[in-house]
């Protein structure tokens, strides 16, 4: 009997002394993060922005001693914006690099290609900035979305026309000029829902991705008497739209989506002046605390050029929230605890650069936007409203579809 | 002297697919390596091997059309796309099992092959290239805009491939499906090119008028080549769809068609082994480059985009140098290496 007790005691001691099973990608000294970026494909400019921002973010944290003494490490894989290569890159990050989490990824095709793998392998991906709703609908526990949603923005345009401009269905005709993909269709869907709600007439004018000639779209929208037109697409094409509208003497009010809050919009010069834009981030010309921090860190890192990118806070807000969550979890860092912590963070302070918020079953991180007006003379965008949400909120509005 | 493809004494030896004992031994060793790969290579390399396998199947089909019959196609990714979407739609909407969805995918692509093949019977060279290019863009357009079937750029999610007794719910399991398909396709292709049909293909490629004079019906064999090649591409497309579990328009673009043509050029035209080598080489080249430059991009994220540019340059440079220095492709190198050993100590 005595021997049994001694044996049991030894086993107990061994069990207690055995090291706890550590989380993948986390050691006593490091936390391994991974990302797939387009470093040599059609979206290489995005890859450059994201890798630079990640580099500045990691350097800043490591300089301060890391997260609870653990330094951050980053593995970067080039996906060339290709879904097939993204699948390979994801497998490499998970299987070879054994990363704890994947950070700051984008691209509808690439992110959709690995969406199921993220859930299957249970790798927190924070955030994806892909412009497709399937990133958060239905929500996956491991996939967090943070960007702008054109469905939200198109609803807000109709809200603004109705409530702020006081123009009823007899005085305004809504138009939507959009790139004919999921991104653009999302804008059309939002405009349709809101137009139906208030009884506005809706005219749609899709254009093919890559198109540089919007004359047929402009002629159609003009002929149908469109007075307020939402635009979903890239900034250079938006500038083309403004020039084309001017050429045929059509003078509606344009509402550009978040991608048009870009210096390239000023290629249209004074034609861009006075038109509206939607944005979920703080602006550099507002001189917010968040932008001051960005200016300080990016200037010190010799990356001043990145400060001209209005979407920079989109990256910084999300990485700031990720850092906060890592710190809040404490030393016993696991993927599941990290996700629970991200869900529990309320009113994350972005330094005046917008809002980011998640919850159980809520993976859509953006809910609030502002409407901006373009000041072409000063080459800036200025807010004309405070932070607001669309009248038809997600996911409730899904029932109306 | 040992018996090989270039030194045979009987017709029986000539008809052998693997003519020498060394070839059979090499094949055996390769077989053991490939079968055991999931046990020692890890998920990443298994995935890369699966991608290689799909590329090999596609390239085998394309080489029958372009390498053996001399009909250049710049629309092979479109055939793959047709196969992939057929398999996906049948599996999702009609509940087709994997075993039926795969041949159905090939059949639909083969039907598209007939549709493309018939008008191109009178076309050669550049005109045929333009026609297949147009086909590629038409298919891309249909995939992107036929929302109700293809779900546009959102794409379709496929269920895991399954047979009555096993579900291939991991890459390691599905690897064996792809391996079987690669071996089966290579075996069929090798047999085909050694048959009367294969010789007819070669005759058409070398001089179609002469082939017609000696009694080869050009229309039938050209169409047959298109149909077989498209069928194989369709099956490969379906295999790829099941491998990735999700398909979208970005997977079957013109750029992919170009890549398959590059595979047969680098590997060696009109060669089964060349198709396999070329597919593996072009698939593994970016993977290999990433092995070298990837750690650099991770260590110096600030230089990541510049490293990406170097990556692309090296990729292009390797292919250009290959074409300049070894026009016969990898198959040509393989033959030279083999001859060196089989004819040693003689130089020729």
- Is the confidence at residue A16, as pLDDT, over 80? no
DSSP 8-class letter at B68: I
Give the residue among A77, A54, A149 at the shortest CA–CA distance from A108: A149
Look at B5 and A161; give whichever has higher pLDDT: A161
The pLDDT confidence band at residue B294, using thresholds 50, 70 and 90, is confident
Q: To 5 degrees, how large is the angle CA B31–CA B36–CA B41? A: 120
Partner residue facing B290 (CB), from A37, A77, A134: A77
CB pairs under 8 A between A and B: 113
Put simply, the answer to whether A52 touches B47 (Cβ < 8 Å) is: no
Alpha helices in chain B (DSSP H): 11-15, 21-40, 42-62, 76-93, 98-117, 125-145, 147-150, 171-193, 196-206, 208-213, 218-244, 254-267, 272-299, 304-325, 329-343
User: Does residue A368 sit at the B interface (CB-CB below 8 Å)?
Assistant: no
Residue B246 contacts A, CB cutoff 8 Å: yes
Confidence of residue A92 (pLDDT cuts 50, 70, 90): very high
Residue by residue, DSSP assigns A95-136 as HTS--SEEEEE--HHHHHHHHHHHHHHT--EEEE--S-GGGT
Residue B5 confidence (pLDDT)? 54
CA distance B237 to B251: 9
Strands A228-232 vs A173-179: parallel, antiparallel or unpaired: parallel
The pLDDT of residue A150 is above 90: yes
Average pLDDT over residues B47-69: 95
Question: Tokens in use for A196?
Answer: 């139906």
pLDDT tens by residue, B87-131? 999 999 999 999 999 999 999 999 999 998 888 788 878 888 899
Q: Which tens digit of pLDDT belongs to each residue from A185-224?
A: 999 999 999 999 999 999 999 998 888 889 999 999 999 9
Can you tell me whether residue B155 is helix, strand or coil?
coil
| CA nearest to A319, candidates A135, A48, A54 | A54
pLDDT (tens digit per residue) in B237-255 = 999 999 988 898 888 999 8
Cα distance from N-terminal residue to C-terminal residue, chain B: 14
pLDDT, average across residues B172-201: 94
Rounded distance, CA A101 to CA A33, Å?
A: 5
Q: Do β-strands A143-145 and A125-128 pair in parallel, antiparallel, or remain unpaired?
A: parallel
Q: Report the SS3 class of residue A256.
A: strand
The answer, yes or no, to whether residue B333 has pLDDT greater than 50, is yes
Taking CB atoms and an 8 Å limit, are B297 and A78 in contact across chains? yes
pLDDT at B250 (0 to 100): 84
Give the start-to-end residue ranges of the domains of chain A.
30-147+285-344, 150-279+369-400
The predicted pLDDT at position A5 comes to 56
Give residue A20's pLDDT band: very low, low, confident or very high (50, 70, 90).
very low
H helix and E strand count, chain A: 11, 12
| Residue tagged 């070298």 (tokens) | B292
**Between chains, do A94 and B43 touch, taking CB under 8 Å as contact?**
yes
Averaged pLDDT of chain B: 88
Q: For A30-147+285-344, CATH number?
A: 3.40.50.2300
pLDDT attached to residue A329? 95
Domains of chain B: 41-343 (1.10.3470)
Tell me how far apart the alpha carbons of residues A123 and A142 are, in angstroms, rounded to a whole number: 6
On whether any CB of chain B is under 8 Å from the CB of A243, the answer is no
- For tokens 């047929």, the residue is A216
Tell me, yes or no, if the two domains A30-147+285-344 and A150-279+369-400 fold the same way. yes
Q: Say if residue A356's pLDDT is above 90.
A: yes
pLDDT at A14: 47
Could you tell me which chain B residue has the CA closest to the CA of A302?
B302
Say if residues A154 and A118 touch (Cβ distance below 8 Å): no
**Quick count: other Cβ atoms within 10 Å of Cβ B35?**
12
User: How far is it, in rounded angstroms, from Cα A1 to Cα A161?
Assistant: 85
Residue A222: per-residue pLDDT: 96
Q: How far apart are the C-alpha atoms of A95 and A98, rounded to whole Å?
A: 5
Tell which wins on pLDDT, A122 or B342.
A122
Using the predicted structure, report yes or no on whether residue B215 has a pLDDT greater than 60.
Answer: yes
What pLDDT does B289 receive? 82
Q: Which helix or strand (DSSP H or E) is residue A323 part of?
A: helix A312-329
The helix (run of H) or strand (run of E) holding residue A181 is none
Mean pLDDT, chain A, as a whole number? 91
Q: Do the chains contact at B248 and A113, CB–CB below 8 Å?
A: yes
Contact A227, A198 (CB under 8 A): no
pLDDT given at position B251: 87
Tokens read off for A399: 């029932």
CA distance A88 to chain B (A): 7
**Tokens 């703080």 -> residue:** A282
Q: What is the pLDDT of residue B301?
A: 64
CA atoms within 13 Å, Cβ hemisphere of A1: 0
CB-CB neighbors (< 8 A) of B286 in chain A = 85
Cβ–Cβ below 8 Å for B307 and A39: yes
- Would the CB atoms of B308 and A39 count as touching at under 8 Å? yes
- What is the Cα–Cα distance from A102 to A106, expressed in whole angstroms? 11
* A12 Ramachandran zone, left/alpha/beta (phi>0; psi -120 to 50): alpha
Query: How far apart (Å, rounded) are the C-alpha atoms in residues B173 and B38?
Result: 8
B172 burial class (0-12, 13-18, 19+ CB within 10 angstroms)? middle
Max Cα-Cα span within chain A: 100
pLDDT over 70 for what percent of chain B? 95
CA distances A240 to A70, A154, A203, A211, A260, Å, are 49, 20, 19, 10, 12
Inform me whether the C-beta atom of residue B308 falls under 8 Å from chain A C-beta atoms: yes
Residue A19 has pLDDT above 70, yes or no: no
Give the range with max mean pLDDT: A273-282, B111-120, B281-290, B306-315. Answer: A273-282
For residue A339, pLDDT over 70 is answered with: yes
Q: Which residues of A touch B294 (CB under 8 A)?
A: 75-78, 92
Q: Give the list of residues 6+ apart from residue A391 with CB closer than 8 angstroms, or none.
A: A155, A159, A194, A197
CATH architecture of residue range(s) A150-279+369-400? 3-Layer(aba) Sandwich (3.40)
Smallest CA–CA distance from B50 into chain A, residue:
A88
Q: Which two tokens stand for residue B92?
A: 């999702």
Task: List the structure tokens of A109.
Answer: 């095709």
Report yes or no: A365 at the B interface, CB cutoff 8 Å. Answer: no
Greatest mean pLDDT among B129-133, B229-233, B289-293 lies in: B229-233
The 10 Å Cβ neighbour count of residue A206 is 18
* Residue-level pLDDT at A9: 56
Q: Which two tokens stand for residue A209?
A: 């991705």
Q: Going edge to edge, which strands form the sheet with A380-383?
A: A201-207, A173-179, A228-232, A253-256, A276-279, A370-375, A380-383
Residue A150: how many other CB atoms lie within 10 Å: 31
pLDDT of A196 reads 95
Helix axes B42-62, B272-299, angle to 10 degrees: 140
How many Å is the maximal CA-CA distance in chain B? 66
Q: Is the pLDDT of residue A17 over 60?
A: no
Chain B residues lying within 8 Å of A82, measured CB to CB = 250
Mean pLDDT within B35-58? 93
- Does residue B1 carry a pLDDT above 60? no
Share of chain A above pLDDT 90, in %: 77
Q: For residue A64, with 0-12 CB atoms within 10 Å meaning exposed, 13-18 middle and 19 or more buried, which class applies?
A: exposed
How crowded is residue B310: how many other Cβ atoms within 10 Å of its Cβ?
18
Report the pLDDT averaged over residues A342-351.
Answer: 94
A115 interfacial to chain B (CB closer than 8 Å): yes
C-alpha B219/C-alpha B221 separation (Å) is 6
CA distance B64 to A201: 56
| Chain B neighbors of A90, CB-CB under 8 A | none
């Amino acid at each position: 009997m005595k021997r049994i007790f001694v044996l049991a005691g030894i086993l107990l001691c061994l069990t207690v002394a055995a090291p706890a099973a550590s989380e993948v990608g986390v050691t006593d000294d490091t936390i391994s993060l991974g990302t797939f970026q387009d470093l040599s494909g059609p979206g290489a400019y995005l890859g450059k922005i994201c890798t630079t921002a990640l580099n500045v973010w990691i350097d800043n944290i490591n300089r301060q001693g890391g997260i609870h003494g653990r330094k951050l490490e980053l593995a970067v894989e080039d996906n060339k914006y290709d879904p097939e290569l993204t699948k390979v890159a994801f497998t490499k990050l998970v299987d070879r690099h054994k990363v704890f989490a994947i950070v700051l990824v984008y691209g509808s095709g690439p992110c959709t290609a690995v969406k199921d793998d993220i859930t299957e392998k249970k790798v927190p991906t924070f955030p994806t900035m892909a412009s497709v709703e399937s990133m958060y609908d239905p929500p996956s526990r491991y996939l967090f979305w943070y960007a702008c949603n054109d469905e939200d923005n198109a609803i807000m345009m109709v809200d603004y026309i109705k409530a702020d401009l006081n123009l009823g269905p007899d005085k305004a005709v809504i138009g939507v000029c959009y790139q004919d993909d999921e991104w653009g269709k999302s804008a059309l869907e939002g405009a349709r829902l809101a137009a139906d709600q208030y009884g506005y007439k809706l005219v749609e004018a899709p254009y093919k991705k890559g198109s540089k000639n919007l004359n047929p779209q402009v002629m159609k929208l003009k002929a149908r008497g469109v007075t307020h037109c939402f635009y979903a697409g890239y900034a250079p094409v938006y500038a083309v739209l403004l020039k084309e509208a001017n050429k045929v003497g059509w003078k509606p009010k344009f509402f550009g989506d978040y991608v048009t809050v870009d210096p390239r919009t000023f290629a249209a010069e004074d034609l861009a002046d006075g038109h509206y834009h939607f944005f979920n981030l703080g602006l550099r010309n507002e001189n917010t605390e968040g932008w001051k921090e960005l200016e300080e860190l990016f200037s010190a890192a010799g990356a001043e050029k990145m400060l001209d990118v209005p979407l920079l806070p989109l990256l910084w807000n999300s990485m700031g929230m990720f850092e906060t969550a890592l710190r809040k979890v404490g030393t016993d860092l696991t993927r599941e605890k990290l996700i629970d912590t991200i869900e529990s963070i309320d009113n994350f302070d972005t330094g005046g650069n917008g809002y980011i918020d998640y919850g159980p079953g809520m993976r859509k991180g953006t809910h609030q936007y502002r409407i901006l007006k373009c000041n072409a003379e000063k080459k800036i965008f200025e807010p004309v409203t405070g932070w607001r949400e669309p009248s038809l909120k997600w996911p409730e509005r899904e029932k109306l579809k | 002297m040992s018996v090989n493809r270039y030194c045979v004494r009987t017709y029986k030896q000539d008809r052998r697919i693997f003519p020498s004992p060394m070839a059979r031994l090499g094949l055996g060793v390769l077989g053991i390596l490939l079968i055991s790969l999931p046990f020692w290579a890890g998920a990443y390399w298994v995935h890369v091997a699966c991608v290689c396998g799909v590329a090999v199947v596609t390239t085998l089909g394309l080489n029958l059309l372009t390498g053996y019959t001399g009909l250049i196609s710049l629309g092979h990714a479109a055939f793959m796309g047709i196969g992939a979407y057929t398999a996906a739609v049948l599996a999702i909407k009609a509940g087709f099992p994997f075993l039926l969805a795969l041949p159905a995918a090939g059949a639909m692509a083969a039907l598209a092959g007939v549709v493309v093949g018939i008008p191109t019977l009178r076309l050669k060279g550049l005109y045929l290239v333009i026609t297949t290019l147009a086909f590629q863009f038409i298919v891309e357009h249909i995939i992107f805009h036929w929302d109700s079937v293809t779900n546009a750029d959102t794409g379709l999610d496929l269920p895991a491939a399954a047979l009555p007794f096993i579900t291939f719910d991991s890459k390691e399991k599905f690897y064996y499906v792809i391996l079987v398909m690669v071996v089966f396709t290579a075996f069929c292709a090798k047999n085909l090119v050694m048959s009367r049909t294969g010789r007819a293909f070669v005759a058409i490629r070398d001089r179609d008028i002469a082939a017609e004079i000696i009694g080869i019906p050009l229309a039938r064999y050209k169409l047959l080549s298109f149909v077989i090649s498209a069928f194989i591409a369709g099956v490969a497309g379906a295999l790829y769809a099941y491998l990735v579990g999700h398909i979208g328009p970005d997977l079957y673009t013109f750029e992919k068609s170009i890549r398959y043509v590059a595979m047969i050029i680098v590997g060696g035209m009109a060669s089964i082994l060349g198709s396999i080598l070329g597919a593996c080489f072009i698939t593994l080249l970016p993977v290999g480059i990433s092995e070298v430059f990837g750690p650099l991009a991770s260590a110096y994220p600030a230089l990541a985009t510049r490293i990406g540019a170097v990556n692309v340059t090296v990729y292009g440079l390797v292919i250009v140098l290959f074409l300049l220095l070894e026009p016969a492709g990898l198959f040509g190198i393989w033959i030279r290496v083999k001859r060196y050993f089989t004819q040693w100590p003689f130089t020729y």
